[in-house]
């Protein structure tokens, strides 16, 4: 419980200026709600009342986060955007300064569109709860056709429902409930009919039931530290490579890395850092070109990893890759301050991405310059400049609707 004065005995003022609520992007890609006054911070309306919000709470735009006492006047500070409270940055009863961060929240484009809030932590939590049931490229040799022949989505959905790992009471295009998806269509003499999907896997080398998975976790990890937040896919990576610490080589394009590879520049363990690949820089393209070369280096005995604000879909493969780094380079992220030779550590088991530099060293180091000219010009790219300039972070959906919460 808190120890602040009861609001009932004071004059309560609603936040009169939503635009002044001080939302900004913090070091981990979170949005910071800052104090608008020098005041005393209280988390609850009275000493006996529960706090307005706790870490992990979903909040709506306009919802009260705290009260700030200034000259016996109680001023409510409200959320400007929908999101999830990830950190409370002040102590109850603390005197806070103008512009001091009080709350860190994680909004998303989906939150603004549908009221459902998802961020990297949510996906990491889901991966921890849902086991690895399929061996499909890149974590196996099978493709989606083999997966379908082994029982496919019908079997996978059924075993997840039976294990209590899916909410079955949802409205789908087939009608209420996911049980509809325990069947699949086929043509019978030109007529469509539905048949039940297999009750058991037809090939347990490719697809297994939830009670006998390949691994107890799905293989998606959140990593975070003084380089921001990122996601790592570990299901295809040999455990011996789940932690890589090595000097950085920094590039601002895939081709620059490929040129260095062809020139024989990689002779020691390396963390390849690829900057200027986020939504605001160049629209966040796929980075498939990198992985075969990194795979060659790893197969040759080097310990290598990738750190980037860009994306890979299923192509991260056997090389440790921390992708979707937020904040991105173009948004002032720490990844843009890395230089060749900086010692970088990516640890999927500990959930960390760190550079061996002090906070003071990072603060003093200048940001990387703008990305390559070809990322912004030519092939009609000029038409999308306004969207790139407004794009939010990848964790919040890279939305261009900044005024609606990014």
Return d(Cα 80, Cα 63) in angstroms, integer: 8
In this predicted structure, what is the pLDDT of residue 1? Answer: 34
CA dist list (Å): 1 to 38, 96, 174, 231, 377: 23, 19, 48, 36, 56
Q: How far is CA 81 from the centre of its chain?
A: 18
Tokens of 241: 């490579």
State residue 17's pLDDT score: 36
Whose structure tokens read 């966040």?
284
- To which residue do tokens 């950085």 refer? 248
Q: How far apart, in whole angstroms, are the C-alpha atoms of residue 313 and residue 26?
A: 26
Which domains can be identified in the chain, with CATH numbers? 7-114 (2.40.50.100), 131-216 (no CATH), 220-400 (3.50.30.80)
Q: Measured between alpha carbons, how far is 243 from 258 in angstroms, rounded to an integer?
A: 24
For the chain (406 residues), the mean pLDDT of every run of 10, in chain order, is: 38 36 49 90 93 86 90 88 85 93 75 62 90 90 93 95 92 89 91 92 96 93 93 91 97 94 97 92 85 94 96 80 91 92 96 94 86 63 67 69 44
- Please give the pLDDT value at position 41: 96
Do 307 and 348 contact (CB within 8 A), yes or no? no
Helix (H, G, I), strand (E, B) or coil at 176: strand
pLDDT of residue 317: 77
Beta bridge partners of 231: 222, 323
Who contacts 329 (Cβ-Cβ below 8 Å, separation ≥6)? 275, 276, 277, 278, 281, 309, 335, 336, 367, 368, 371
Q: What is the pLDDT of residue 390?
A: 67
């Amino acid at each position: 419980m808190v120890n602040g004065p009861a609001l009932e005995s004071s004059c309560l003022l609603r936040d009169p200026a939503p635009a002044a609520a001080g939302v900004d992007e913090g070091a981990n890609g979170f949005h910071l709600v800052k104090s608008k006054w020098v005041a005393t911070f209280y988390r609850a309306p009275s000493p006996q009342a529960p706090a307005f919000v706790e870490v992990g709470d979903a909040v709506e735009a306009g919802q009260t986060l705290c009260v700030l006492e200034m000259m016996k006047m109680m001023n409510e500070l409200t959320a400007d955007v929908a999101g999830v409270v990830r950190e409370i940055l002040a102590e109850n009863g603390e005197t806070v300064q103008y512009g001091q961060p009080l709350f860190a929240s994680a909004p998303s484009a989906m939150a603004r569109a549908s009221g459902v809030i998802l961020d990297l932590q949510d996906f990491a939590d889901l991966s921890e709860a849902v086991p690895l049931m399929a061996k499909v490229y890149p974590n196996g040799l099978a493709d989606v056709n083999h997966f379908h022949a082994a029982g496919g989505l019908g079997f996978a959905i059924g075993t997840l429902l039976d294990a209590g790992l899916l909410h079955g009471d949802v409205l789908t295009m087939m009608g209420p409930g996911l049980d509809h998806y325990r069947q699949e269509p086929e043509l019978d003499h030109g007529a469509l009919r539905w048949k039940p999907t297999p009750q058991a896997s037809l090939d347990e080398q490719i697809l297994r039931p939830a009670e006998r998975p390949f691994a107890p976790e799905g293989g998606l990890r959140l990593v975070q530290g003084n380089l921001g937040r990122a996601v790592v896919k570990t299901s295809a990576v040999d455990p011996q490579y789940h932690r890589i610490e090595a000097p950085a080589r920094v590039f601002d394009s895939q081709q620059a890395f490929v040129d260095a590879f062809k020139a024989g520049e990689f002779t020691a363990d390396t963390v390849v850092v690829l900057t200027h690949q986020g939504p605001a820089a160049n629209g966040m393209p796929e980075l498939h070109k990198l992985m075969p070369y990194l795979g060659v280096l790893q197969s040759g005995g080097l310990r290598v990893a990738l750190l980037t604000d860009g994306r890979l879909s299923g192509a991260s493969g056997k090389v440790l890759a921390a992708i979707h780094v937020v904040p991105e380079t173009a948004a002032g992220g720490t990844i843009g301050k890395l230089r060749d030779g900086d010692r970088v550590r990516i640890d999927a088991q500990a959930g960390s991405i760190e550079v061996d530099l002090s906070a003071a060293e990072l603060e003093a180091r200048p940001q990387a310059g703008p990305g390559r000219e070809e990322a912004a010009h030519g092939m009609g790219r000029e038409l999308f400049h306004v969207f790139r300039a407004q794009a939010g972070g990848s964790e919040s959906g890279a939305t261009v609707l900044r005024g609606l919460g990014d």
